[in-house]
């Protein structure tokens, strides 16, 4: 069942809950009752199904929505190739996979008039979009709203992580507002337009080619905690009845294709289903951690996971390092030194991260690929080894990680970027020997 529509401080009305069978109509009576595809849909609308999973996938994983729209999506001219800009797609084969620890500064300023789509820049990724496996890490930096155009991604769902500047995202399902500290998810194939609420918008995008993100199981944590389902907010129906040229950009098997429609395809008057966009406020994350000793693995901070066909082995996890108390006794409290079979891309939404004293900055990012050795830098190690272990609140930053089961191969642009930091290895220099036999 759908949650109650809730009006939030931003004036938008949302439906709450994760994976719900939501329903919404912008005009009363637009949703057919008791069937999906009546002989004539109400109000002269066209009924259309949008499937995010195969028809036959288990009910618990099945994602689809029914849209009731002014024109059917099928009524469009041919798509033709568009310039891919700085967007790239798996398989990533143009650079040699790099075992080095890598760290980037934020992207440089974009040229005037750069919108969300033009502002996308691919760092790298893994898998193969045509096989619906793996993921890509993108950054965006825009200074203009998308005008007279909409975007959709057949290759995967898009998890948008704003770092600077609020976004108003107009989707086929209605409006979402995503500010820094929020994440927004656009499901595979859903059309949307990004409008800027500030002069500039900057952030990160995880393009997930694999199974749709879901909430992680909670196991012994119990029935509540981490990201609570009720805090996910889907839009309520809102439509554009616009009969003027709109460019529809479709990312398909790694290329951008465009077609100019004679109307806005954001013309869905009513919808129901569970293949829906949503926003989630990361400050709602219920952080669970140790209240005795040792540093728990960061899987305890998983917001969303895209399972693969091997239980417990995610195509990609989205993990957040949110404000929390550290109380572990006789414990090295920051992230430990480690080598991980999973590959870790990290970004910073604000402030600082407790494993790095400096150099890891908001809008920047780091990549610690499969089995690369990393952990606290020397300053952090020294301070944490000597600190008096009183309860300590970590509340000066918001970091996140896209953690994936396959190594991340970079695009040549990211591998050779001016904003790639040199000398990142040095943060682990000066960790002198203390061994006494
Ligand atoms: O490398 C990182 O900073 C991410 C991370 C955090 C943590 O608390 C434990 C392991 C880990 O990979
Ligand atoms: Fe790590």
pLDDT digits (tens, 9 = 90+) for 19-48: 999 999 999 999 999 999 999 999 999 999
Q: What is the DSSP letter of 212?
A: P
Q: Phi and psi at residue 258, in whole multiples of 5°? A: -135, 150
User: What is the chain's Cα-based Rg?
Assistant: 22
Q: What is the DSSP letter of 427?
A: G
Look up the CATH number of domain 5-282. 2.60.120.10
Q: What is the predicted pLDDT for the residue at 404?
A: 98
pLDDT over threshold 80, residue 2: no
Q: Which of 1-10, 249-258, 414-423 has the lowest mean pLDDT?
A: 1-10
Mean pLDDT (the chain) is 96
Residue with tokens 């393009």: 207
Q: What is the predicted pLDDT for the residue at 9?
A: 65
Which atom belonging to ligand 1 lies closest to the Cα atom of 401?
4
Q: What percent of the chain has pLDDT over 70?
A: 99
Look up the CATH number of domain 286-421. 2.60.120.10
pLDDT over threshold 70, residue 162: yes
Burial class (CB in 10 A: 0-12, 13-18, 19+), 88: buried
- Asked if residues 15 and 235 have their Cβ atoms less than 8 Å apart, the reply is yes
Q: Is the ipTM of this complex over 0.90?
A: yes
Q: What is the predicted pLDDT for the residue at 271?
A: 98
Which atom belonging to ligand 1 lies closest to the Cα atom of 340?
12
Q: What is the predicted pLDDT for the residue at 4?
A: 62
Q: Would the annotation count 338 as a binding residue?
A: yes
pLDDT over threshold 80, residue 405: yes
Which atom belonging to ligand 1 lies closest to the Cα atom of 334?
8
Q: What is the predicted pLDDT for the residue at 6?
A: 74
Q: What is the predicted pLDDT for the residue at 1?
A: 38
Mean pLDDT score, 4-29: 90
Which residue owns the Cα nearest ligand 1 atom 9?
Answer: 335
Q: What is the predicted pLDDT for the residue at 5?
A: 74
> pLDDT band at residue 121, thresholds of 50, 70 and 90?
very high
Pocket test for ligand 1, best of 401, 404, 427 (most atoms within 8 A of CB): 401
Mean pLDDT score, 158-180: 98
Instruction: List Cα–Cα distances, 380 to 100, 119, 312, in angstroms.
Output: 21, 34, 31
Mean pLDDT score, 230-253: 98
pLDDT over threshold 80, residue 152: yes
Q: What is the predicted pLDDT for the residue at 356?
A: 80
Mean pLDDT score, 45-74: 97
Mean pLDDT score, 79-87: 98
pLDDT over threshold 90, residue 52: yes
Domains 5-282 and 286-421 share a fold: yes
Residue with tokens 């098997």: 253
Residue with tokens 């568009």: 82
pLDDT over threshold 60, residue 3: no
Q: Would the annotation count 344 as a binding residue?
A: yes
Give 192-230 pLDDT, tens digit per residue.
999 999 999 999 999 999 999 999 999 999 999 999 999
Give 237-246 pLDDT, tens digit per residue.
999 999 999 9
Q: What is the predicted pLDDT for the residue at 358?
A: 86
Ligand at minimal distance from the CA of 376 is 1
Mean pLDDT score, 410-435: 94
Q: How far is the CA of 340 from the centre of ligand 2 (A)?
A: 7
Q: Which residues line ligand 1 (CB under 6 A)?
A: 295, 298, 335, 338, 340, 344, 355, 368, 374, 401
Q: What percent of the chain has pLDDT over 90?
A: 95
> pLDDT band at residue 357, thresholds of 50, 70 and 90?
confident
Give 288-340 pLDDT, tens digit per residue.
999 999 999 999 999 999 999 999 999 999 999 999 999 999 999 999 999 99
Q: How far is the CA of 434 from the centre of ligand 1 (A)?
A: 24
Segments making up each domain of the chain, as ranges: 5-282, 286-421
Q: Which residues pair with 208 in a beta bridge?
A: 135, 157
- Asked if residues 32 and 41 have their Cβ atoms less than 8 Å apart, the reply is yes
pLDDT over threshold 60, residue 415: yes
How many whole angstroms separate alpha carbon 424 and alpha carbon 369?
14
């Amino acid at each position: 069942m759908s949650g109650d529509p809730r009006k939030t401080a931003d004036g938008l009305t949302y439906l709450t809950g994760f994976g719900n069978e939501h329903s919404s109509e912008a005009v009363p009576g637009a949703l057919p009752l008791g069937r999906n595809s009546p002989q004539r849909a109400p109000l002269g609308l066209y009924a259309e199904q949008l499937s995010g999973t195969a028809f036959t996938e288990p009910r618990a994983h099945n994602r689809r929505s029914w849209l009731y729209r002014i024109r059917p999506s099928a009524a469009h001219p041919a798509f033709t190739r568009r310039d891919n800009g700085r967007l790239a797609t798996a398989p990533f084969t143009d650079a040699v996979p790099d075992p080095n620890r890598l760290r980037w500064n934020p992207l440089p300023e974009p040229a005037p008039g750069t919108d969300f789509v033009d502002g996308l820049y691919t760092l790298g990724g893994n898998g193969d979009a045509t096989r619906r496996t793996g993921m890509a890490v993108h950054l965006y930096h825009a200074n203009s709203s998308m005008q007279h155009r909409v975007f959709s991604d057949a290759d995967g769902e898009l998890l948008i992580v704003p770092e600077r500047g609020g976004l108003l995202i107009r989707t086929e399902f209605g409006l979402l507002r995503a500010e820094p500290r929020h994440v927004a998810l656009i499901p595979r194939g859903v059309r949307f337009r990004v409008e800027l609420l500030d002069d500039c918008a900057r952030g990160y995008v995880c393009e997930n080619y694999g199974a749709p993100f879901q909430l992680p199981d909670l196991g012994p944590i119990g029935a509540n905690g981490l990201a609570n389902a009720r805090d996910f907010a889907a839009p309520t129906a809102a439509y554009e009845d616009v009969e003027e040229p709109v460019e529809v950009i479709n990312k398909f098997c790694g290329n951008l294709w465009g077609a100019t429609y004679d109307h806005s395809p954001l013309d869905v008057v009513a919808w129901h289903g569970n293949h829906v966009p949503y926003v989630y406020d990361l400050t709602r994350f219920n952080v669970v951690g140790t209240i005795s000793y040792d540093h728990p693995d960061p899987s305890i901070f998983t917001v969303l996971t895209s399972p693969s066909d091997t239980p417990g082995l995610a195509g990609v996890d989205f993990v957040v390092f949110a404000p929390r108390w550290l109380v572990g006794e006789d414990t090295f409290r920051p992230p430990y030194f480690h080598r991980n079979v999973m590959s870790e891309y990290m970004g910073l939404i604000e402030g600082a991260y407790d494993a790095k004293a400096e150099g890891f900055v908001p809008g920047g990012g780091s990549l610690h690929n499969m089995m690369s050795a990393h952990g606290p830098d020397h300053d952090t190690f020294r301070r944490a080894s000597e600190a008096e272990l009183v309860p300590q609140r970590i509340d000066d930053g918001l970091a996140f990680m896209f953690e994936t089961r396959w190594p991340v191969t970079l695009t040549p642009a990211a591998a050779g970027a001016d904003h790639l930091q040199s000398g990142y290895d040095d943060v682990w220099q000066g960790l002198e020997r203390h061994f006494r036999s």
